[in-house]
Amino acid sequence: MKKYIKYIVIAIILIAVIFGYMSCRKKKNRPEWRTDTTSFGNIREVVTATGSLNPYVLVEVGTEVSGKIEKLYKDFNDNVKRGELLATLDTELLRTALESSRAELTKAQTSQAEAKLDHDNLVELVKHGMAAEYELRKAEFRMQQAQQSLATARLNLQRAQKNLDNAYIKSPIDGVIVGRSVDEGQTVAASLNAPTLFKIANNLDKMQITANVDEADIGRIKVGLPVEFSVDAYTTMAFTGEVQQIRLNPVTEQNVVSYSVIIDADNPGRVLLPGMTTNVTIIVKSRENAMRIPETATRFRASNELWSLFGLKWDDESMQKEREKAMEELQKEIASAREAQSENAPDNGAAKADQGESAPRMGRGGGQGRQGGQGGMQAPGGGMPPGGPGMMGMGGRGTSMASVWILKNDKPELRMVQTGISDGAFVEVISGIKEGETLISGVVYKNSKQASQSSPMGGPGMRRF
């Protein structure tokens, strides 16, 4: 009998050792929560794009006459005044044409005087019956032709004088020469298009950026929004500007539609040069010293498989009740904040109407509506599943609602929070969470088997929220 008792004791000890070993191993291999906490900082909602720098006004100076460049008076980077001489063309042929036009004008004047003399003489002869009426009419026609020839000669003289004047290239504006396309001795031909000789920028103390913004982001851009940009030439310097114009002309490249956004920018010290490529950041919205949480916390999703890895019990009905409770608490907090704001507002009626725009709009079954109260995603039996979707539109002034999980006493607790703007890394929290609370943003697995078990492809029948 004592022998059997000995074996029984040994078996119990072995079982206890094995059970203890398995428990320790299971505890050691249990995954851990990846956690974050609330923080305070600046949040900016931005649109990024690339663009190029250009002067406000860039004038291309050409020539209306053909000829050889005889003399250049200005070069790159020279400052010029309106009407200042830039270059001259060879004027020999143009002066010859001018003298020829003057000679033609003198000839036309002589012919006109002769025709007038004949006409006046015939008028007197016809009065005394010494000439036929027919001869007088012919004299009138000759005088009219002489007057027309005189007018044509005067126009030809004006044209020749204008061509000679055009041989002296002058600046049309005050500015800086940023381009020169010809050299002395070069021949330019002005046929259908006037050849460009110089490019003059009116003012390099102020520049314009032409940024190409994707059609998906153009709806968020408004005139007057602040802009920050940088250039590769000065990586440590930050420049600022302002949206001045949104051009309606679309540009399609490789099936991608974009629009040109014109940005005004100062050019301190003229360090920005025309043609530079800019990396533009358009600040759509910003909050200073706002309470924020990581975006990963709003994307965390709970599941039955994940809960089992932590030894937690999963029940759909309990989760639904927890979700409804979290929704009610958020609504109470929002209502309290609205009441407090109404009491402090000078016009209670206007304040209530204003707050009504930013209040959550509920869909059927307690679900949160998308953008103005349209029905959102709902779980069976009404309402939205706990923990999902991550963010739902609330309508009004850019506020949304997100589901997050709070780690409280080592157990996850569902919360619904009202959120504001997001910069992709952090999201602003308006209500629903307190400062210093610990949020679950993910899971740290000890082995790949656990990760595959809790992944969306872990197997059929798995329900994720």
Per-residue confidence (pLDDT) for residue 131, from 0 to 100? 79
Q: Are residues 332 and 397 in the same domain?
A: yes
Q: Which domain holds residue 259?
A: 46-56+202-287
Q: Up-side HSE of residue 225: CA atoms within 13 Å toward CB? A: 24
Phi, psi for residue 440 in degrees, rounded to 5: -90, 120
Per-residue confidence (pLDDT) for residue 386, from 0 to 100? 40
Q: Are residues 162 and 172 in the same domain?
A: no
Q: Residues of the chain with pLDDT > 90: what percent?
A: 36
pLDDT-derived band of residue 15, with 50, 70 and 90 as boundaries?
confident
Considering the domain boundaries, does residue 21 fall inside one? no
Q: Are residues 85 and 160 in the same domain?
A: no
User: pLDDT tens digits, residue range 119-166?
Assistant: 888 888 888 888 788 888 888 899 999 999 999 999 999 999 999 999
Per-residue confidence (pLDDT) for residue 156, from 0 to 100? 94
- 167 conformational bin, left if phi > 0, alpha if psi -120 to 50, beta if neither: alpha
Q: Are residues 245 and 137 in the same domain?
A: no
175 three-class SS: strand
Q: Are residues 300 and 409 in the same domain?
A: yes
Q: Are residues 174 and 269 in the same domain?
A: no
Q: Are residues 173 and 239 in the same domain?
A: no
Mean pLDDT, the chain, whole residue set:
80
Q: Are residues 182 and 296 in the same domain?
A: no
Considering the domain boundaries, does residue 10 fall inside one? no
Q: Are residues 272 and 157 in the same domain?
A: no
Q: Residue 254 pLDDT > 60, yes or no?
A: yes
DSSP 276-339: -EEEEEEEEEEEEEEEEEEHHHHH---BHHHHHHTT----HHHHHHHHHHHHHHHHHHHHHHHH
Q: What residues contact 223, with CB distance under 8 A and at least 6 apart?
A: 243, 244, 245, 246
Phi, psi for residue 142 in degrees, rounded to 5: -65, -35
pLDDT-derived band of residue 462, with 50, 70 and 90 as boundaries?
very low
Per-residue confidence (pLDDT) for residue 391, from 0 to 100? 43
Cα separation, 5 vs 455, whole angstroms: 49
> pTM score, two decimals?
0.66
- Provide mean pLDDT across the span 403-414: 87
Q: Which long-range contacts (CB under 8 A, 24 or more apart) does 345-352 make?
A: none
CB 441 within 8 A of CB 298: no
Q: Which of 96-100, 107-111, 220-224, 451-455 is least confident?
A: 451-455
Residue 284's CB is within 10 A of a number of other CB atoms, namely: 17
CATH classification at residue 249: 2.40.30.170
Asked which of 117, 148, 166 is the last residue of a domain, the reply is 166
- Provide mean pLDDT across the span 171-181: 92
pLDDT-derived band of residue 76, with 50, 70 and 90 as boundaries?
very high
Considering the domain boundaries, does residue 214 fall inside one? yes
Considering the domain boundaries, does residue 50 fall inside one? yes
Calculate Rg over the CA atoms of the chain. Answer: 43
Q: Are residues 359 and 261 in the same domain?
A: no
CATH classification at residue 145: 1.10.287
Cα separation, 126 vs 347, whole angstroms: 100
Q: Are residues 52 and 121 in the same domain?
A: no
Q: What residues contact 390, with CB distance under 8 A and at least 6 apart?
A: 298, 299, 301, 402, 403
- Provide mean pLDDT across the span 389-396: 43
Q: Residue 396 pLDDT > 50, yes or no?
A: no
CB 252 within 8 A of CB 268: no
Considering the domain boundaries, does residue 18 fall inside one? no
pLDDT-derived band of residue 3, with 50, 70 and 90 as boundaries?
low
Give the 3-state DSSP-derived string for 193-253, with helices as H, strands as E and coil as C: CCCEEEEEECCCCEEEEEEEEECCCHHHCCCCCEEEEEECCEEEEEEEEEEEEEEEEEEEE
CATH classification at residue 78: 2.40.50.100
CB 402 within 8 A of CB 416: yes
Query: Among residues 231, 211, 229, 230, which one has the least CA distance to residue 221?
Result: 211
Considering the domain boundaries, does residue 15 fall inside one? no
pLDDT-derived band of residue 281, with 50, 70 and 90 as boundaries?
very high
Per-residue confidence (pLDDT) for residue 4, from 0 to 100? 67
Q: Up-side HSE of residue 108: CA atoms within 13 Å toward CB? A: 20
Look at 381 and 91; give whichever has higher pLDDT.
91
Burial of residue 456 (number of CB atoms within 10 Å: 0-12, 13-18, 19+): exposed
Q: Are residues 296 and 429 in the same domain?
A: yes
Question: Is the preceding peptide bond at 460 cis, omega within 30 degrees of 0?
Answer: no
Considering the domain boundaries, does residue 192 fall inside one? yes
Considering the domain boundaries, does residue 123 fall inside one? yes
Asked which of 242, 267, 287 is the last residue of a domain, the reply is 287
Asked which of 250, 267, 287 is the last residue of a domain, the reply is 287
What is the identity of the amino acid at 301? R
Number of domains in the chain: 4
126 three-class SS: helix
